[in-house]
Every structure is written in structure tokens, then in C-alpha cells.
Amino acid sequence: MKKRVLSVSFIMVLLLFVVSAAFAGATLDGVYEEVGYPDSVAVYAQDGNMVYVTGYYVINGQPRVWYGKGQREGNIISYATKITLGPSSLTTMKPGKHSLTISSDGTTMTGKAMSGDGKSSSFSMKKKSN
């Protein structure tokens, strides 16, 4: 019985390692668009476990530019965000946060955005190109 438990434990650890390696191998670098907002664009870059992003979108005819910096752990990226172009109420706001889960094939990311004033929403990003 002890050998069986050890064998099952070994197989589970091996499986977790393989799954983790698969997620770690998904390429994050590239150009993405927010699902439902075809005028949006975000460029993600990864250097080790560091993640950098800059983005552009338009709401009600007003352009917005933002950037973020954070980390990747497995298939999850989390980063602080700052809007640099847009209404003054947004550019003077405290930094926000994004937390996204990368799909196993690396083509989509889905998660939550929290603004600097504490409002949150769900969103998804779809990869357009590398």
C-alpha cells in the first residue's frame, strides 16, 4: 500500500511538472486586442518572469493610453496599470491592477481589471500576432 501511494504521488508530481512546463512555454510576447473592442491594442513583452505592457483604446471618441508592469507565475500574469492619456479623472487616479490567466495555447488571456478607485470588471485579450 505504501509503494502504491508513493507511486501515485510520484505520478502526480510528474504530471504537475509537465503541465507547469507547458504553461511556462506559452509565448506571451505579442500584440493583443481586448475582446469586444476592435479598436484596442496592447503589446505584451516578457523578460524572465517580468511582464511589460502598453496599450491604446478609445471610449466615446476619447483615446486612452496606458502601461503596466508586473510578473508572470505559471499561466497567471499580474501587473499594475497607469493611464497616461485620457480624461484627467483617469490620469490622476491611483494605479490599477490586472490579473489574467493565459490559455494553454497562449492565444487568449482572461481575468479581472481593478481600477485605482476600486471598481472591477472582467475582460479578455486575444492575440493578434507575435
* CATH code assigned at 108: 2.40.128.120
Instruction: Give the whole-angstrom CA distance, residue 24 versus residue 120.
Output: 27
- Specify the amino acid at residue 9: S
Q: Which three cell numbers stand for residue 83?
A: 493611464
How many whole angstroms separate alpha carbon 23 and alpha carbon 17?
A: 10
Residue 64 has pLDDT above 80, yes or no: yes
CB half-sphere exposure, 81, CA atoms < 13 A = 26
Confidence category of residue 2, pLDDT binned at 50, 70, 90 = low
Residue 92 pLDDT: 87
- Does the structure show a pLDDT above 70 at 102? yes
Mean pLDDT across 35-43: 94
* pLDDT band per the 50, 70, 90 thresholds, residue 30: very high
* Confidence band of 129 (pLDDT split at 50, 70, 90): confident
Please count the structural domains in the chain: 1
**pLDDT band for position 90 (cuts 50, 70, 90):** confident
What are the φ/ψ torsions at residue 112 (nearest 5 degrees)?
Answer: -125, 145
Measure the CA–CA gap between 50 and 47, rounded to whole angstroms: 5
- Which residue range is the domain that position 91 belongs to? 2-129
| pLDDT at residue 31 in the model | 97
Residue 116 · residue 98 · CB < 8 Å: no
pTM: 0.77
**What is the Cα–Cα distance from 107 to 127, expressed in whole angstroms?**
5
The residue-averaged pLDDT of 21-47 equals 84
- Alpha-carbon 108 to chain mean position: 9
